Structure 1
Amino acid sequence: MAEQLSEFARVLQADNDADSLLTHLVKAAIELVPGTDEASISLITGRADVESRAPSSDLPRQVDALQTRVGQGPCLDAVFEHGTVSVPDMAQEDRWPRFAEGAMNLGAASMLAFQLYVEGDNLGAMNLYSRHANAFTVESEENGLLIAAHASVAIAGSKKMDQMHDALANRDTIGQAKGILMERFGITANQAFILLVRSSSHTNTKLATIAEYLTGTGELPHHSR
Structure 2
Amino acid sequence: MTADAQDGWIGSAPHASVTDSAVGVEGLDKLALHLGDLARFLQEQGSVEETLQGIVDAAVVTVPGAEYAGLSVVRGRETMSTPAASAEVVDQVDQVQIDFQEGPCLDVLYEKHTVWLPNTAEERRWPRFAARARELGIGSMLSFQLYVTGDDLGALNLYSRHAEAFTDESEQVGLLFATHAAVAMADAQERAHLSQAMGTRDLIGQAKGILMERYKLTSVQAFALLVRASQHTNTKLAEVAEYLTRSGELVGKRGGDE
State TM-score, norm by structure 2: 0.83
Q: Distance in 2 between matches of 1:39 and 1:78?
A: 19
The structure with higher relative contact order (CA 8 Å, sep 6+) is 1
Question: For 1:82, what is the secondary structure of its paired residue?
Answer: coil
Match in the other structure for 2:22: none
Q: CA deviation at 1:46?
A: 3.2
Deviates more, 1:13-22 or 1:182-191: 13-22
**1:182 and 2:215 aligned:** no
Q: Distance in 2 between matches of 1:164 and 1:78?
A: 33
**1:218 and 2:221 aligned:** no
Q: Which runs of 5+ in 1 are unaligned?
A: none
Match in the other structure for 1:205: 235
Deviation track 1:89-148 (CA, whole Å, cap 9, x = no partner) reads 111111111111111111110000111112233321111000011111101011111111
Q: Which runs of 5+ in 2 are unaligned?
A: 1-30
Asked if the contact 1:78–1:114 (Cα under 8 Å) also holds between the matched residues in 2, the reply is no
Name the structure where helix makes up a greater proportion of residues: 1
Q: CA deviation at 1:27?
A: 1.2
Task: Give the 3 Å change call, closer, same or farther, for CA 139–91 of structure 1 in structure 2.
Answer: same
Q: 2:113 aligns with which of 83, 103, 107?
A: 83
**How many aligned positions are there?**
225
Deviation track 1:148-181 (CA, whole Å, cap 9, x = no partner) reads 1011111112222221111111100000000000
Task: Give the 3 Å change call, closer, same or farther, for CA 54–143 of structure 1 in structure 2.
Answer: same
Q: Distance in 2 between matches of 1:136 and 1:30?
A: 12
**1:46 and 2:76 aligned:** yes
Matches within 5 A, 1:155-170: 155-170=185-200
Q: Distance in 2 between matches of 1:78 and 1:147?
A: 20
Q: CA deviation at 1:222?
A: 4.1
**1:171 and 2:201 aligned:** yes
Q: 2:148 aligns with which of 113, 118, 142?
A: 118
User: Identity of counterpart residues, as a percentage?
Assistant: 52
Aligned CA-pair RMSD: 1.4
Q: CA deviation at 1:12?
A: 1.7
